[in-house]
Structure 1
Amino acid sequence: MGYPKDLLSSRSIIKHGLYALIAPEGLVNNVVPGFENCIISILGSPKLGASFVDYIITMQDGGKNAEGFGGQADVETFVYVIEGKVKAKADEQEFELKDSGYLYCPPGTTMYLENIAEGDSRVFLYKQKYRPLEGKKPWVYSSHSNDIEYRDYDDMHNVHIKDLLPTDIDFDMNFHILSFDPAACHPFIETHVQEHGAYLLSGEGMYNLDNEWIPVKKGDYIFMGPYVQQAGYAVGREPLTYVYSKDCNRDAELK
Structure 2
Amino acid sequence: MGYPQDLLASRSIIKRGNFALIPPEGLVKNVVPGFEQCDLTILASPRLGAKFVDYLVTMHEGGKNAQGFGEEGVETFVYCMEGQVSASADQETFLLEAGGYLYCPPGVKLYLENAQSKDTKLFLYKQKYAPLNDSSRKPWVVSGNVHDIVAVDYDNMTNVKIQDLLPIDHAFDMNFHILSFEPGGCHPFVETHYQEHGAIMLSGEGVYNLDNEWIPIKKGDYLYMGPYVPQATYAVGREPFAYLYSKDCNRDAAL
Query: What TM-score, normalized to structure 2?
Result: 0.98
* 1:223 aligned residue: 224
Preserved contact between residue 60 and residue 117 of structure 2 (Cα < 8 Å):
no
- Give, in angstroms, the shift of residue 68 of structure 1: 0.5
Whole-Å separation in 2 of the counterparts to 1:162 and 1:227: 23
Query: Aligned pair 1:47/2:47, yes or no?
Result: yes
- Unmatched 5+ stretches in structure 1: none
Q: Which residue of 1 aligns with 2:64?
A: 64
User: After superposition, what is the alpha-carbon deviation per residue over 1:131-179, rounded to whole angstroms, capped at 9, x for unaligned?
Assistant: 0002320000000011111000000000000000001100000000000
Instruction: Give distance in 1, aligned partners of 2:157 and 2:199.
Output: 21
Matched, 1:5 2:14: no
After TM superposition, the structure 1 = structure 2 runs for residues 1-255 of structure 1, keeping only pairs within 5 Å, are 1-70=1-70, 72-133=71-132, 134=134, 135-254=136-255
- Kindly report structure 1 stretches of 4+ aligned residues shifted beyond 4 Å: none
Q: CA deviation at 1:117?
A: 1.8
How far the C-alpha of 1:73 sits from its partner, in A, is: 2.0
Q: Deviations over 1:66-112 (max 9, x none)?
A: 00000x22100000000100001000001000000000000000000
Identity fraction in percent: 68
Local SS of the residue matching 1:176: strand
Q: Distance in 1 between matches of 2:72 and 2:26?
A: 34
Greater alpha carbon shift after TM alignment, 113-122 vs 123-132: 113-122
Query: CA separation in 2, counterparts of 1:129 and 1:201?
Result: 26
CA RMSD of aligned residues (A): 0.5
Unaligned runs of 5+ in 2: none
Give the secondary structure class of the aligned counterpart of 1:37.
Answer: strand
Partner letter of residue 212 of structure 2? N
Instruction: Tell me how far apart the structure 1 counterparts of residues 188 and 25 of structure 2 sit (CA, whole Å).
Output: 31
Query: In structure 2, how many angstroms separate the alpha carbons of the residues matched to 1:195 and 1:247?
Result: 7
User: Residues of 2 paired with 1:79 and 1:73: CA distance?
Assistant: 17
Q: Distance in 2 between matches of 1:62 and 1:248?
A: 36
TM-score, length of structure 1 as denominator length: 0.98
CA distance in 2, matches of 1:170, 1:103: 17
- The amino acid across from 1:107 in the alignment is P
Contact 2:62 2:117 in 1 (8 A): no
Aligned partner letter, 2:221: D
Question: In 2, Cα distance between the equivalents of 1:14 and 1:69?
Answer: 27
User: Could you list the per-position Cα deviations for residues 5-47 of structure 1 after superposition, in whole angstroms to 9, with x for gaps in the alignment?
Assistant: 1111000100000000000001000000000000000000000
Q: How many residues are matched?
A: 253
Instruction: State the alpha-carbon separation in 2 of the partners of residues 149 and 120 from structure 1.
Output: 29
What letter is aligned with 1:222? Answer: L
Give the SS at the match of 2:25: helix
One-letter code of the match for 1:103?
A: L
